[in-house]
A and B are shown apart, each in its own frame.
Chain A
Amino acid sequence: MPIQSVNDFVVRFANVNGSGSASANELFARAVLRMGVPVAPRNIFPSNIQGLPTWYEVRISQAGHLGARGGTDLMVAMNPQTWDKDVASIEPGGYLLYDSTKPMPRSKFRDDITVIGVPLTAICNREYTDPRQRQLFKNIIYLGALSALLDMDVGEIEKLIAEQYKGKEKLFDANKHALHLGRDWVMMNMEHPIGLRLQRANAVGDRIFIEGNSAAALGAVYGGATVCAWYPITPSSSLAEAFTRHCNRLRIDTASKQNKFAIVQAEDELASIGIVIGASWNGARAFTATSGPGISLMQEFLGLAYFAEIPAVVFDVQRAGPSTGMPTRTQQTDITSCAYASHGDTKHVLLFPEDSAETFDFAATAFDLADRLQTPVFVMMDLDIGMNHRLCRPLNWDDSRKYDRGKVMTAAALEAGKDFGRYLDVDGDGIPYRTYPGTHPTKGSFFTRGTSRDRYARYTEEGPAYADNMQRLLRKFETAKDLVPRPIQANADKSTKYGVIYFGSTSPAMDEAIQMLDAGGHHLDRLRVRAFPFHSSVTSFIAEHDFIFVVEQNRDAQLRSLIVNECGIDPVRLVPILHYDGTPITARFIARAIGEHLDALKITPLRKVVS
């Protein structure tokens, strides 16, 4: 029985990298959005420029589920290399759209799916002579075919094409023509629509559609970052590039036409973080964007920044693996390496945004926190957030907001004779005052170094002075607990002994999984951790429940280890739920994994059965 569904299904496009499919596929996702139906698209792409397989998955969900669902209801199979796997991955009762120009043996199909053959190549070859056009318009033609098959509002696609080619009438006409070639062919030659249909709805509201990397870069612009130093690495490169783009639009001085920003593509990640530290030491807001291997390279500098107490903002768009690893797959794999980055006895502030909108907020907040705490702050994103368009609430900025530059002693304060000790804890919060270089002719200068020093920044190798400083750094970290974004708790309708802790991009899948578990009779309270160091509410949440599931996208249960270590929790009470194959975590996975655990706990004890 073919699947019948309105506004709730998954379409997956299987393409060849570099074939121009990306823009057509994105057009599809945007058109669905314009029909008022939420979508969650995801790029699944290789580390390659041309030739290898790439997929674009669009989850359509009127209910608003934005996590990956798993499974495919309609496969648009445009890549012969991956045909067999693609066909095999279709849900029973699903649909396959393929290019039927060349006949395919029956054995290449499945009996339990609906096969839709459209002679795309033949249509293209009839229409176009230029090979490049044949390839590019083939993508638009299948989009046209889809519009008929799914009963889409073709007007929305046309409007999007018009916006894209504003002022380029010829290109608009050509694309519109191609769109209708596909649409008309389906309308004339086959039954339509199929069981999967799109219907205009009103479920998008004022939400926006933005990639996390772009949102992070905007957050850096709004947060007052002026210096960006970076080294290209997937999946973070587009963050620095977006910062460049945003700055070119928003940060050029109107009178002088000069830039209120400085962006350096450095020679490596060591130089990137060095530039960030130098700029921050000198009072500018600076950041770098990188991924796991870059974090590895920055270790020495991160320890220096921690110890010398220099602000720095690092956007870590996480991916799997070492130097090459799985550069184009998502993971939450740098939790431990960032939390304790460098030489030992170092701890860092981490922020865990759940989506693009929160990434924007946390990006701007990160600069305030770094200045306030005079220490590196990591914004822990991942590929799933960074490189996919995500539907999220509109970005918001309060114009009355002032940058918190932290404790900076001014020339006037120095002149007035205020006691300045660079590492002197005057307020009991562990945070000392600093001065920017060049502040005062005779007061307030100090020597910054990685070697141990006393409260007045004077070199010393005395044990007590070193220990005193290390204790103050711990006090500062305590202070941080109440400054960083607090966890968000949501309780089940019924009281329960079980809880779940999760963070970052797991969020949308978790929201959906909770509903699935609820339906199965499993109720869980949940806590979304948004920062490290952990707020006291993390410990109390754990104390209030018998067992806590900790859901994360890495092999080693890194957040769980961090909780055990930092909150002194008995590991037995924290059950790891781990997903780490490089694909984004799904609600199905979470619900199944947690459900199995809870089902096992539900088994009636033997003595009860016997008695």
Chain B
Amino acid sequence: MTYVVKPKFHHPELPKNKLGYTHRDYEGKISTLCAGCGHDSITASIIEACFELSIEPHRVAKISGIGCSSKTPDYFLGNSHGFNSVHGRMPSVLTGANLANRDLIYLGVSGDGDSASIGLGQFAHAMRRGVNMVYIVENNGVYGLTKGQFSATADRGSKSKRGVTNTDSAIDMVGIALQLGASFVARSFSGDKKQLVPIIKAAIEHQGAAFVDVISPCVAFNNHAGSTKSFDYVREHNEAVNFLDFMTGRAPIHVDYAPGTVEMVEQHDGTMLALRKINAEYDVHDRLAAMNFIAHHASLGQIVTGLLYVEQDASDLHGHLNTVEAPLNALGEKELCPGSAALDKINGSLR
């Protein structure tokens, strides 16, 4: 915990993006998490992704639940509105916010306790509905703020810091997201910024429910031998299926890559993902195969990372509800109130 105010000065030659902003313009308050926390690395990746995409920070709404992960929206995009809501309920608050104004970018930040335990229901239903959002779960398998209890993503057989063995089977949120119809599903590791930043960028550009599970070791309570969410364990058991080399707007910049290992993935709004495949058989458009692949590797003790599934013609809740293009929060009396003449007619039909 620190009360230090972050200094605002920065190096005059810091790189700027299209908007003329530097990294610093995407930062927030100083983190109050433990030194070395995986969540801070994710925060850094979010900042990097937003900087690279030249997103106007105030056009992002950051919404979270409760827990260590849910505190992080205070640490990035200081010029964005943030909402630290109630435990496990980020998805509903975000759904409402999204319905009110479809023009903003919605970043939902949650943890494994927040989304897999108390909020499993809301997580599931947000995926089902196809809310256009980036849903990041900072997954450490443990309750940090309340000092080290297992969460629902802790693997069966893993050991807590106090030596207790978890006997409940783990919830795999990636598997659930795939099953429930999320149109973008990825998994990464907080310690792998190279993989994570492009995934977050792609998730932001994706027009639909984008779920990103990020394994993020808890340095205080879940980074010991016997834990399956520690830095060492994840590094040893990581099975990356692909890397997103870049993610841009409508004009992809081609970089050199070995032919045959890169796949260009076009999303329905025209944006392109360039996917560098490590595993040649892996098809990011096959939901069933993805589920199978992940389950198979899980049985071998491997954590599959990368972009696991993306639907090319994704649709979102606004599409399903056929809402007008203008944000609902921008409509006034003129657009919304049918007026007295219509009411007189209604009165007439009720006699």
Among candidates B84, B122, B332, residue contacting A447 with C-beta atoms closer than 8 Å: B84
- List 28 A-B pairs, Cβ < 8 Å: A206-B351, A208-B351, A224-B333, A227-B328, A251-B338, A253-B324, A258-B324, A262-B323, A266-B92, A271-B91, A271-B95, A271-B121, A272-B92, A274-B93, A275-B95, A275-B99, A278-B95, A279-B329, A282-B97, A300-B86, A394-B347, A436-B329, A437-B104, A438-B81, A438-B104, A447-B81, A447-B84, A449-B84
Contact assessment for B324 and A260 in the assembled complex, using a CB-CB cutoff below 8 Å? yes
Residue picked from A274, A282, A395, A451, most chain B C-beta under 10 Å: A282
Q: How far is the CA of A447 from the CA of B325 in the complex (A)?
A: 27
Interface window among A396-404, A543-551, A583-591:
A396-404
Among candidates A281, A304, A395, residue contacting B97 with C-beta atoms closer than 8 Å: A281
Contact assessment for B79 and A445 in the assembled complex, using a CB-CB cutoff below 8 Å? yes
B82, CB-defined interface residue at 8 Å: yes
B321, CB-defined interface residue at 8 Å: yes
Q: How far is the CA of A453 from the CA of B78 in the complex (A)?
A: 16
Contact assessment for A210 and B121 in the assembled complex, using a CB-CB cutoff below 8 Å? no
Contact assessment for A445 and B78 in the assembled complex, using a CB-CB cutoff below 8 Å? yes
- A569 CB to nearest B CB, Å: 35
Contact assessment for B321 and A262 in the assembled complex, using a CB-CB cutoff below 8 Å? yes
Residue numbers in A under 8 Å from B299 (CB-CB): none
Contact assessment for B332 and A224 in the assembled complex, using a CB-CB cutoff below 8 Å? yes
Contact assessment for B323 and A445 in the assembled complex, using a CB-CB cutoff below 8 Å? no
B23, CB-defined interface residue at 8 Å: no
A446, CB-defined interface residue at 8 Å: yes
Q: Interface extent on A, as a size class?
A: 35 or more
* Known A-B contacts A208-B347, A209-B351, A226-B336; A281 and B80 likewise in contact (beta carbons under 8 Å): no
Within 8 A of B (CB), among A237-257: 250-251, 253, 256-257
A264, CB-defined interface residue at 8 Å: yes
* Known A-B contacts A222-B338, A226-B336, A256-B325; A270 and B89 likewise in contact (beta carbons under 8 Å): yes
Contact assessment for B337 and A283 in the assembled complex, using a CB-CB cutoff below 8 Å? no
A263, CB-defined interface residue at 8 Å: yes
Contact assessment for B61 and A437 in the assembled complex, using a CB-CB cutoff below 8 Å? yes
Within 8 A of B (CB), among A263-299: 263-264, 266-268, 270-284, 286
Contact assessment for A278 and B324 in the assembled complex, using a CB-CB cutoff below 8 Å? no
Among candidates A401, A438, A450, residue contacting B61 with C-beta atoms closer than 8 Å: A438
Residue of A nearest to B122 (CB): A271
Residue picked from A227, A263, A272, most chain B C-beta under 10 Å: A227
Among candidates A259, A262, A267, A278, residue contacting B93 with C-beta atoms closer than 8 Å: A278
B74, CB-defined interface residue at 8 Å: yes
Query: Given A282-B97, A445-B81, 13 more contacts at CB 8 Å?
Result: A218-B343, A218-B346, A256-B324, A262-B323, A271-B121, A274-B96, A277-B85, A278-B63, A284-B328, A435-B81, A438-B101, A447-B73, A448-B81
A229, CB-defined interface residue at 8 Å: yes
B340, CB-defined interface residue at 8 Å: yes
Contact assessment for A284 and B86 in the assembled complex, using a CB-CB cutoff below 8 Å? no
Q: Interface extent on B, as a size class?
A: 35 or more
Residue of B nearest to A274 (CB): B92
Contact assessment for B89 and A274 in the assembled complex, using a CB-CB cutoff below 8 Å? yes
B350, CB-defined interface residue at 8 Å: yes
Among candidates B78, B96, B121, B324, residue contacting A227 with C-beta atoms closer than 8 Å: B96
- A221 CB to nearest B CB, Å: 7
Contact assessment for B94 and A278 in the assembled complex, using a CB-CB cutoff below 8 Å? yes
B-facing mask of A107-132, CB < 8 A → 1, else 0? 00000000000000000000000000
Contact assessment for A397 and B121 in the assembled complex, using a CB-CB cutoff below 8 Å? no
Contact assessment for A450 and B86 in the assembled complex, using a CB-CB cutoff below 8 Å? yes
Contact assessment for B99 and A284 in the assembled complex, using a CB-CB cutoff below 8 Å? yes
B268, CB-defined interface residue at 8 Å: no
B125, CB-defined interface residue at 8 Å: yes
Q: How far is the CA of A140 from the CA of B278 in the complex (A)?
A: 74
Contact assessment for B74 and A447 in the assembled complex, using a CB-CB cutoff below 8 Å? yes
- A121 CB to nearest B CB, Å: 35
Residue numbers in A under 8 Å from B129 (CB-CB): 264
Residues of B bordering A, CB below 8 Å: 56-59, 61, 63, 73-74, 78-86, 89, 91-101, 103-104, 121-122, 124-125, 129, 317-318, 321-325, 328-329, 331-333, 335-340, 342-344, 346-347, 350-351
Residue picked from B84, B124, B325, B335, most chain A C-beta under 10 Å: B84
A441, CB-defined interface residue at 8 Å: yes
Contact assessment for B58 and A439 in the assembled complex, using a CB-CB cutoff below 8 Å? yes
Contact assessment for A281 and B93 in the assembled complex, using a CB-CB cutoff below 8 Å? yes
* Known A-B contacts A275-B92, A395-B347, A438-B59; A282 and B125 likewise in contact (beta carbons under 8 Å): no
Residue numbers in A under 8 Å from B322 (CB-CB): 257-259
Q: How far is the CA of A229 from the CA of B95 in the complex (A)?
A: 10
Q: How far is the CA of A399 from the CA of B338 in the complex (A)?
A: 9
A301, CB-defined interface residue at 8 Å: yes
Q: How far is the CA of A207 from the CA of B348 in the complex (A)?
A: 10
Contact assessment for B99 and A397 in the assembled complex, using a CB-CB cutoff below 8 Å? no
Residue of A nearest to B328 (CB): A226
Residue numbers in B under 8 Å from A267 (CB-CB): 121-122, 124-125
Residue numbers in A under 8 Å from B321 (CB-CB): 259, 262-264
Q: How far is the CA of A442 from the CA of B20 in the complex (A)?
A: 14
* Known A-B contacts A210-B350, A270-B89, A403-B333; A448 and B121 likewise in contact (beta carbons under 8 Å): no
Contact assessment for A437 and B84 in the assembled complex, using a CB-CB cutoff below 8 Å? no
Contact assessment for A284 and B329 in the assembled complex, using a CB-CB cutoff below 8 Å? yes
Residue of A nearest to B326 (CB): A260
Contact assessment for A279 and B339 in the assembled complex, using a CB-CB cutoff below 8 Å? no
- B30 CB to nearest A CB, Å: 12
Residue numbers in A under 8 Å from B58 (CB-CB): 437-442, 445
Residue numbers in A under 8 Å from B329 (CB-CB): 226, 279, 282-284, 436
A261, CB-defined interface residue at 8 Å: yes
B-facing mask of A319-345, CB < 8 A → 1, else 0? 000000000000000000000000000
Contact assessment for A437 and B80 in the assembled complex, using a CB-CB cutoff below 8 Å? yes
Residue numbers in B under 8 Å from A441 (CB-CB): 56-58, 79
Residue of B nearest to A442 (CB): B79
Among candidates A208, A250, A258, A399, residue contacting B350 with C-beta atoms closer than 8 Å: A208
- A573 CB to nearest B CB, Å: 41
Among candidates A218, A227, A250, A253, residue contacting B100 with C-beta atoms closer than 8 Å: A227
Q: How far is the CA of A450 from the CA of B89 in the complex (A)?
A: 13
Contact assessment for A274 and B122 in the assembled complex, using a CB-CB cutoff below 8 Å? yes
Residue numbers in A under 8 Å from B125 (CB-CB): 266-267, 271
Residue picked from B99, B333, B342, most chain A C-beta under 10 Å: B99
Residue picked from A262, A300, A403, most chain B C-beta under 10 Å: A262
Within 8 A of B (CB), among A459-491: 459
The 10 A-B residue pairs whose C-beta atoms are closest, nearest first, are A278-B96, A274-B92, A284-B100, A437-B81, A283-B329, A279-B96, A275-B96, A282-B100, A278-B93, A208-B350
Q: How far is the CA of A446 from the CA of B81 in the complex (A)?
A: 5
Residue numbers in B under 8 Å from A224 (CB-CB): 331-333, 336-337
Q: How far is the CA of A266 from the CA of B99 in the complex (A)?
A: 13
Residue numbers in B under 8 Å from A300 (CB-CB): 86
Contact assessment for B100 and A283 in the assembled complex, using a CB-CB cutoff below 8 Å? yes
Q: How far is the CA of A435 from the CA of B338 in the complex (A)?
A: 27
- B133 CB to nearest A CB, Å: 11
Contact assessment for B323 and A258 in the assembled complex, using a CB-CB cutoff below 8 Å? yes
- A415 CB to nearest B CB, Å: 13
Within 8 A of B (CB), among A181-228: 206-210, 218, 221-222, 224, 226-227
Q: How far is the CA of A253 from the CA of B322 in the complex (A)?
A: 11
Q: How far is the CA of A441 from the CA of B350 in the complex (A)?
A: 50
Residue picked from B79, B93, B98, most chain A C-beta under 10 Å: B93
- A420 CB to nearest B CB, Å: 12
Contact assessment for B100 and A278 in the assembled complex, using a CB-CB cutoff below 8 Å? yes
Residue numbers in B under 8 Å from A398 (CB-CB): 340
